[in-house]
Amino acid sequence: MKLIKFFFILYLGLLPLYAEYSLSEYKAAIKTNPDNYKIYNQLGLYYIQLKDFTNAKVALEKSVKIKRDYGLGYYNLGVLLLNQGHYNEATENFIKSLIFNTNNYQSFINLANIYNIRNDLDLSKKYYLKALVFRTNDADLYNNLGVIALKKKNYGEAESYLQKAYAIKKDDSDIKFNLATAYYYQKKHAKIQELYPYTDPSNKYYHLIIEMLNN
């Protein structure tokens, strides 16, 4: 059974804003404005484009050192650390980003993902729910909440979340299978049959679906 469809907010989405500048231009700008925290933040994102993660970390750390309440800087640093697998440091930075920008739903999502990886399901659920306040029509959030409920064997709750996810994203095979799983554990075989009126051998869940329908 597929237990989670992670919904990582990647730093790569921020990069096109800064792609027009060269490294020499950033360095010249810093020489002119050595205490400009935004330039260091942009330089950090530029280094990420170059896959120079060491210098990216240095630049992003400099941006928040200059401006201690720079929420976006903490967020970008957190995403860099998350994608490198440094979960403790990433967590610290996402929490700091929320201190200075309480509406940063992306930090809530990433914190939820980190706690999900750690199998701390209660904290993961807490942060997915906080993100859901800002993303009320996000199928992936409902899916992840549904999967947490599946892991905790709260099958009725799982069904509720996954039905919402499926209503938003009917073409997502993972969400559909997770919903079928919630039905299966509640012995709602007719509901599974409604989801899969015919079985397609090319479906990656084909053998599991057949097993569900025959049990």
Distances (CA, A) of 191 to 5, 46, 185, 213: 22, 50, 12, 10
Domain segments of the chain: what residues?
11-136
User: Pick from 140, 214, 139: which is nearest to 184 by CA?
Assistant: 214
Split at pLDDT 50, 70, 90, the class of 209 is confident
In the predicted model, what is the mean pLDDT of the chain?
87
* Per-residue pLDDT reduced to its tens digit, 96-142: 999 999 988 999 999 999 999 899 999 999 999 999 999 999 999 99
* Per-residue pLDDT reduced to its tens digit, 141-167: 999 999 999 999 999 999 999 999 999
Global pTM value: 0.84
Domain 11-136: give its CATH superfamily: Tetratricopeptide repeat domain (1.25.40.10)
Return the HEC string of the chain: CCCCCCCCCCHHHHHHHHCCCCHHHHHHHHHHCCCCHHHHHHHHHHHHHCCCHHHHHHHHHHHHHHCCCCHHHHHHHHHHHHHCCCHHHHHHHHHHHHHHCCCCHHHHHHHHHHHHHCCCHHHHHHHHHHHHCCCCCCHHHHHHHHHHHHHCCCHHHHHHHHHHHHHHCCCCHHHHHHHHHHHHHCCCHHHHHHHCCCCCCCCCCHHHHHHHHHC
* Per-residue pLDDT reduced to its tens digit, 36-65: 999 999 999 899 888 999 999 999 999 999
